[in-house]
Structure 1
Amino acid sequence: MKNLILIALLAYWPLLKNNGITGTFSEYRFNHIHAGFDLSTNGKTGYPVRCFDDGYVYMIKVKKRGYGNVVYIKHPKRKLISVYGHLKCFNKAIQKIADNYKKIRKTKYPGLIVLGDKKIKIKKGAIVGLSGESGEGLPHLHFELRDYNNNPVDASKYGFDTRFDTTYPVISGLKIIPQDSFSSFNGKTKEGYLKAYRKRKNKFELRKFNISGNILFALSAYDTAGRGKVGVKSINFYLNGKPVYVFNPERFSFDNFKQSCCVYDFEDTSLFPTKYFYNLFKIKGCTLSVSQMLTQYPFKKGENALKIVVSDFHNNKSVLTATFNYTKFKGKPAFFSPLSVVVNDRVIFAKEIENLIDFKAYAVFPYNYEKREFVYKNFKISLVGINKEKRLLKIKKIKDFKGFLIPVKDSFFKIERENEFVKSVKYTFFLKNIDKKYGIYFFNRLRKRWIFIGDKTEKDSISADYYRVGEIGVFIDNVPPEIKGKPYYFDGKFVIKAIDIGKGIDEDSIVFKSDKNEYKLEYDRDRRWLFYEGKVLKGKYTLELLDYAGNKITKTILVK
C-alpha cells in the first residue's frame, strides 16, 4: 500500500487532463526514432502545460517547423532536462523574452534563444505555457526528458504517469525473411507473413510453419495506450529457450538516432496508416543503442520453438508462441536475395560483388557503410548503408506512371529489397532540357501516392537526397495550387484551404490584399491551409500564390 501511495505522489502528467498517448519513446518517425511522448489534446489547443519538477528555463525555440514553440528546462536535483514542444504560447515571463527576440531579429520565428544569465526559475507544477500545434503536426503536446548529455531518456523511468494504460499490447503477426538463395519459408524463397491468433487476452499463437537456411524475423505489434496505435516499450525474443534479441530503449544519442531502419522493417512500417514491424535482429554496423543481439538465431534440425514477449510502458505484457520445423533447403535457389544472386547458374554472395551486375532487364548492386555509386541507364544512385557486411539491391526500369502529373519518358525505376539498411541515398537522373517544373518523386507504397523529394538541377541532370529506396521517378508539375471552399476562422486564425499535388506551395509567393488592406498569410502544410493569426477586415480580396514549380493561381476571396 505504501508503494502505491508513493507512486501516486511521484506520478507526473504535463496536462491537467489525461487524454491518452498518441506517440511513444523510440517510436518510428521515418528516418529517425521519436525522442519523447506525444500527448493527446483531443484536437484542441490552449491547455495549461505543467513543469516536470523544480528547475530553470535555460533555452527556448520559436520555429516555423520542428517542435515549433518549445521550452527547455534544467532540473539540477534530477540531473535531467525536460522539453515541451508545439506550444501555442509561453507563460508571461518566457513570452516576454520570445517577443523581445522577435523584435531584435525582425522575424516571427527567431529560432534558438539561449537565456544565459536571464534564465527563469520555475517550480514543479507551474505553468510553462499553453498546448498548441506550432511546428509540425496537428494539436498535441510533445513531452521529452533528456539527461545532462542531451540524450533522450525514457520518461516512464522518471515518474511519467502511465498507470491509465490497462490494455495489453497487440501482436498482429510475424514476417519471415529469407536472406540468401538457399533459404526458404514454407517451401518458397520469398518472404512471407503469418497472422497471429489471440488465444487469450494477452496470449497469441502462430500456425506451425517450415523454414530452411538463413532466416530473419520481424514482428508486427502495437500498443493502444488509451489513444490509437502506438509503439511498444520492449521486445524480448527467445528461440528454443535461449534469449536471442532484446529491444528495450532507455536512452539514445542524437548522433545516431537517424538509424530507424535498424529497429523497424521499412517495407511495412508506416505512420499513415499506422503499422509497426520490429526487426528481431540487429545488423552489424548499427550504433543505435536501443537494441541488442545476444546471439545468432540458434536453429536446430527438426522442431524449434519461439517465444516473443512484448511490453508496453506500464509493463503490460503480451506473449507470442509458435513451433516450426527447420529443414534442409530443397528446390531451385532464389535468383535474388539480400545476400546472394544467381549469375550464369552460379550463386554469388554479396561479399564477392564489387560492381553493378547488369542483366539488361534489371541490375544488382552491393551496398554497405562505404559510399557507393552506380549508374544504370540514365539513372545514378549514390548511397551509404548502415550495414558493415555487404547486402544487395535490385534495380529495374518500370513503365512511365500515368494518372498523376506529366511523367518524363524513361525516368522511372524500382529498387527492390527484402530489408533495407540505407543511411542516405542520392538519386540522379540524366535528362535534357530540365526546367523548374521538373521534380523527383518517391512512391509511398502503403499510402499509394507519389511524394515530391527534390529538384536540385545542374547541367543535364536533376537530383534529390532521400533516406529510402523504392520506386522513383521524374514528373513535370504543370498543375497550379487549388483553393478549396470559403474562408473561415479556426482557433483564432483566419483560414483558407489550399492544396498542391506537386512540389508544394511557395509560402513566400503568397499575396492577399484588397484596395485598402493587405495581410501576410502563412502556409501550414500539415493542415494544408493558408492562415493569418488574427482578424481580417471584411471586403473583397485578391489572393495570388505560386507553387515551387512556378504555377500560379489568382482568385477573388470575399471576406464577410
Structure 2
Amino acid sequence: MQKYIFILFFTFHVFSISAQFDKTEYDLAFPLNIPVELSGNFGELRSNHFHAGIDFKTQQVIDKPVFSVADGYVSRFGVSPAGYGHVLYITHYNGLTSVYAHLDSFVPFLDSIVQAKQHEERSFAVDFTLPKDMIKVKRLQQVGWSGNTGSSGGPHLHFELRDTYTEEALNPFLFYDIEDTVRPRVHKFLLYPSSNEGVVEGSMRRRTMVLEQTKPGFYRHKGNVTIKAWGKVGLGVHSYDYMPNANNIYGVHSVRVLVDGAEIFVYQMDRFSFDKTRYMNAFIDYEEWYTNRSMVMTLFRLPNNKLDNYVKLVNDGYLLINEERIYPVQLIIKDFHGNTTTLDFSIQGVKQEIPKVEHPNAVAFSYDKENVFENADVKLTIPAGALYQNMLFNYSVRYNPKGFSDVHDLHLPTIPLHDYAELRIKLKNDSLSDKNKYYIARKNRLNGFDFVGNGYEDGCVVTKTRDFGQYAVLLDNKAPIIRLATVNNGHVIFKVSDNQSGVSHYNGYVDNEWALFKYDKKTNTITHKFDSKRVEKGGIHHIELRVFDKCGNEAVYQNQVWW
C-alpha cells in the first residue's frame, strides 16, 4: 500500500505545558472546603468562547466559604449584572493569578473597598485594580462566599488560573489532582468536502456518518462500511468527556487524526489567550451550532483561524484523497487524565470529476481584505480579518412599505464574523424628531427581533454587528416597566423589564441621595438593602428608581418605605 502523500507539512512548536508546571512546586489549595465535584472543565466549547476555568459545584446552594489558593495579594475586583458577576482576582508570587467568579459576596473588609468604589463611581457595576501588596492574603484565607451572580446558570464557583505575565488562561488540571477514570464518548462525526475541491459519497455537502460502538471507548462507521470520497476532505467530531458519579458533560483535552498511521492533525487544550477565544467559532462547525445547538469540532484549520492550540497540522488537517485505494483513518480523543476513545473508519478513494458550483448572484468576499456591500438602502462594511475564510455573500430584501426600513437579508446567520462590521440602513420614513428612538434590530432564532444598535447619521441608522442575518430599523418609544416586587427585612426588590431595546442603565436614590441598588440581569431584579451606616433606621424613607432603555426612554418609580 502506498503511504499517504503529504503535499504541505508544518508543525507548531508548542512547548509542553505539563513540563512547565510541577503540581508539588505550586502546592495550590482548593478554593472550597467541600468535596470536589465539577460541573464544567477547562476549554469547554461555549457560545463564542472557550471556557476559561473549571466550575466547582457548591452542593446546589450559595454562601459556601471561598479561600485563596496560595499566598498573594488582591489585584482586581469586578461587579457586573452579567458575565462574572462578583469576581475577585488574586495575584500570587509564583507567576499565577487566581480568579473567583459568580461570588455572592466578598468578606466584609474586601466588600467595604468595593462598596466605596461603587459609591465613588455612583455605579453598581465596577471593575478596578489595586496596587501590588496593598491587600495581602494568605493561603486558605477566606476571601468571599460562593454564589450565583452574573450570567451563572446555577450556584457554583467559577475558578480560573492565569499566567500573570501573559494573562493567558491555564488549565487548572495542570495544578490539581482530580480523579477521572471515565473515557470521552463520541456522539457524531461528519465529513466536509472542501468547496469545489472534494466530494463525499457523491455529494459536495457535509455528510453526517452513522456511528456504532464496538466496545467501551471504541467506535467505527456503522457496519464498518467504507466511505467513498475524492479530493480535499475535512473531518468533524462531536465528543464530550465525562467524570465519575456525575451527569455533567465536559470538554475533551486533545484530538488526534491519523491517516495511514501518520498524524495529520493534533489539537490540545492546555492554555489560550483571551484575545483569541472567539476563534472558537472557526474551530467548530458554526452552522451546526447555530442550527442544532450541537458543538462539532472541525479537525481542520480555516485560513484565518489563529488559534494556538494546534500542535500539528498537515495540509491544515485536511485529508487529500488523490489515489484509488483505501485510506485508514483513526481519531484518538483523550481527556486530561489520559482516558482514551478511538474512532476508526476507512475511506475508499474513487476518482471522479468534482463539479464546479456557480453562484452567479453572489458577491465574492476575501477574508484578508475589507469587504463592502452597498446599495441605495443599506451598506455593510466588513473589516479585513473579520471572516475566517473566503465566502460568497448573498443579499435579498423584503419590502415593508409601512416600516421605517425594509428587511435586509444580509447573508445567512450560520456564517460567523470574528470582528465587528459596520451596518448602515437608510430610513424610508424619517419622521421622528428624537432620532435616538430608531434602532437596528436583527431577527433571532425564534423569529423575534433583538436590539443591535441605534446611532443616527444623515437619514441612516448606523451600528456595529458581529452577525449576518436579517436586519431592519424599528422604533422604541416605550419606557421600561418597573414593578415593586417586595419590601421585606430591609430589602426593597423591584422587577424591571423592557421588551424592545432593553435596559441600558439605572440609578437608585434613598432620601434624594444616590444609593447602591444591585441589578441581576438574568432575573431582571434590582434590589436595595438599607445600610444603617448611610440611612437612619426607624423612619419613613423616600425611595426612587430611574431605569433607562437603550433608546433613552426613562421609567421612574417613587414610593415611601418604612425602615
TM-score of the aligned structures, taking structure 1 as reference length: 0.78
CA spacing shift, 1:410–1:62, aligned 2, 3 Å: closer
User: Hey, what's the Cα distance between the residues in 2 that align with 1:335 and 1:265?
Assistant: 23
Give 1:236 shift. 1.5
- How far is the alpha carbon of 1:246 from its aligned partner? 1.7
1:181 aligns with 2:196: yes
2:77 maps to a residue whose letter is I
The aligned residue for residue 118 of structure 1 is 134
2:373 aligns to what? Answer: 374
Alpha-carbon distance in 2 for matches of 1:320, 1:462: 51
Name the CA distance, whole Å, in 2 between partners of 1:497 and 1:131. 24
Do the aligned partners of 2:124 and 2:519 also contact (CA within 8 Å) in 1?
Answer: no
Which of 191, 208, 231 pairs up with 2:206?
Answer: 191
Distance change (3 Å), C-alpha of 1:426 and 1:302 = farther
**1:45-99 deviation per Cα after TM superposition (whole angstroms, max 9, x unaligned):** 21111222233333333445443332222332x3222111222222344334334
Match of 2:156 in 1: 140
Look up the match of 1:36: 53
Q: Does 1:281 align with 2:300?
A: yes
Q: Give the Å deviation of 1:14.
A: 2.0
| Equivalent pair of 1:178/1:185 in contact (CA under 8 Å) | yes
Higher RCO (C-alpha under 8 Å, 6+ residues apart): 2
How much does 1:547 deviate?
A: 3.2
**How far apart, CA to CA, are the structure 2 residues paired with 1:498 and 1:25?**
34
Give the corresponding residue for 1:212. 230
Once structures 1 and 2 are overlaid, which stretch shifts more, 280-289 or 15-24? 15-24
Measure, in 2, the Cα distance between the counterparts of 1:172 and 1:109. Answer: 41
Query: After the TM superposition, which of the residue ranges 288-297 and 191-200 deviates more from structure 2?
Result: 191-200
1:468 pairs with 2:467? yes
Judging changes above 3 Å, is the alpha-carbon distance between structure 1 residues 301 and 273 closer, same or farther for their aligned structure 2 residues? closer
Tell whether the 8 Å contact from 2:388 to 2:417 is kept in structure 1 after alignment. no
Q: Residue 287 of structure 2 aligns to a residue in which SS?
A: coil
Residue aligning to 2:6? none
Q: Displacement of 1:382 after TM fit?
A: 1.6
- Residue 254 (str. 1) matches residue 274 (str. 2): yes
Give the superposition deviation at 1:120: 0.8
Residue in 1 aligned with 2:394? Answer: 395
1:53-72 correspondence runs (5 A): 53-72=70-89
Tell me which amino acid in the other structure corresponds to 1:269.
W
**Residue 507 (structure 1) aligned with residue 530 (structure 2):** no
Change (3 A) 1:408 1:309: farther
Task: Confirm or deny: 8 A CA contact 2:416 2:466 kept in the other structure.
Answer: no
Distance 1:52 1:292, change over 3 A: same
Tell me the C-alpha RMSD between the 2 structures.
4.1
How do 1:12-27 residues align onto structure 2 when only pairs under 5 Å count?
12-18=29-35, 20-27=37-44
Alpha-carbon distance change, 492 to 155 in structure 1, aligned in 2, over 3 angstroms: farther
The counterpart of 2:348, out of the listed 325, 332, 335, is 325
Q: Judging changes above 3 Å, is the alpha-carbon distance between structure 1 residues 451 and 492 closer, same or farther for their aligned structure 2 residues?
A: farther
Q: Secondary structure at the match of 1:95?
A: helix
Which residue, 232, 237, 247 being the options, matches 2:252? 232
What amino acid maps onto 1:466 in structure 2?
T
Q: Does 1:203 align with 2:218?
A: yes
Contact 1:182 1:334 (8 Å CA) reproduced: no
* Residue 353 (structure 1) aligns with: none
**Which of 529, 533, 550 is residue 548 of structure 1 equivalent to?**
550
- CA distance in 2 between counterparts of 1:278 and 1:34 reads 15
Query: Which residue identity lines up with residue 308 of structure 2 in the other structure?
Result: S
Matched, 1:413 2:409: yes
Give the drift of 1:145: 0.8
Amino acid at match of 1:262: A
SS in 2 for 1:25: coil
Query: d(CA) in 1 for partners of 2:89 and 2:51?
Result: 17
What amino acid maps onto 2:300 in structure 1?
F
Q: Check 1:551–1:91 CA distance in 2 against 1; reply closer, same or farther (3 A cut).
A: closer
The answer to whether the 8 Å contact 1:281/1:293 transfers is no
CA distance in 2, matches of 1:541, 1:321: 67
Q: Residue type matched to 2:71 in 1?
A: D
Alpha-carbon shift at residue 15 of structure 1 (Å)? 2.0
- Preserved contact between residue 367 and residue 384 of structure 1 (Cα < 8 Å): no
Tell me, what secondary structure is at the counterpart of 2:276? coil
**What is the alpha-carbon distance in structure 1 between the residues aligned to residue 487 and residue 341 of structure 2?**
46
Asked whether the 8 Å contact 2:371–2:384 carries over to 1, the reply is no
Aligned match of 1:529: 525
Matched position secondary structure for 2:113: helix
Identify the residue that residue 324 of structure 2 maps to in structure 1. Answer: 301
Partner SS for 2:281 = helix
Report what 2:12 is aligned to. Answer: none
Q: Relative to 1, partners in 2 of residues 1:187 and 1:500: Cα closer, same or farther, differing over 3 Å?
A: farther
Give the residue type in structure 2 aligned to 1:80. L
Report the AA paired with residue 74 of structure 2. V
Q: Distance in 2 between matches of 1:490 and 1:186?
A: 67
1: CA distance, partners of 2:528 / 2:560? 15
> Secondary structure of the equivalent of 1:258?
helix
C-alpha deviation, 1:492, in angstroms:
9.1
| Paired position in structure 1 for 2:338 | 315
| 1:197 partner SS | strand
Q: CA deviation at 1:280?
A: 0.7
Distance of 2:187 and 2:134 partners within structure 1: 51
Residue 354 of structure 1 corresponds to none
C-alpha deviation, 1:144, in angstroms: 0.8
Contact 2:68 2:137 in 1 (8 A): no
| Alignment counterpart, residue 426 of structure 1, candidates 410, 422, 428 | 422
Conserved? CA contact 1:240–1:298, under 8 Å = no
User: Relative to 1, partners in 2 of residues 1:104 and 1:422: Cα closer, same or farther, differing over 3 Å?
Assistant: closer
Indicate the residue corresponding to 1:340 in structure 2. Answer: none
Contact 1:249 1:289 in 2 (8 A): no
CA contact (8 A) 1:68 1:85 kept: yes
Q: In the alignment, what sits opposite 1:348?
A: none
Which deviations, in whole Å up to 9, do the C-alpha atoms of 1:1-51 show, x marking residues without a partner? xxxxx99x9685322234743333233344433322233335532111122
Indicate the SS of the match to 1:156: helix
Q: 1: distance between equivalents of 2:449 and 2:215?
A: 41
CA contact (8 A) 1:23 1:39 kept: yes
Q: Give the partner amino acid of 2:368.
A: Y
Q: Is the 8 A contact 1:383 1:422 kept in 2?
A: no
Distance in 1 between residues matched to 2:264 and 2:500, nearest whole Å? 46
Q: Report how far residue 438 of structure 1 moved.
A: 2.9
SS of the residue corresponding to residue 422 of structure 2 reads strand
In structure 2, give the amino acid aligned to 1:148.
T
CA contact (8 A) 1:282 1:293 kept: no
TM-score by length of 2: 0.78
Aligned length: 518
Is the contact between residue 284 and residue 387 of structure 1 (CA under 8 Å) also seen in structure 2? Answer: no
- The answer to whether the 8 Å contact 2:72/2:90 transfers is yes
Q: Which runs of 5+ in 2 are unaligned?
A: 1-22, 532-536
Matched with 2:19 is: none
Pairwise CA distance, 1:325? 2.7
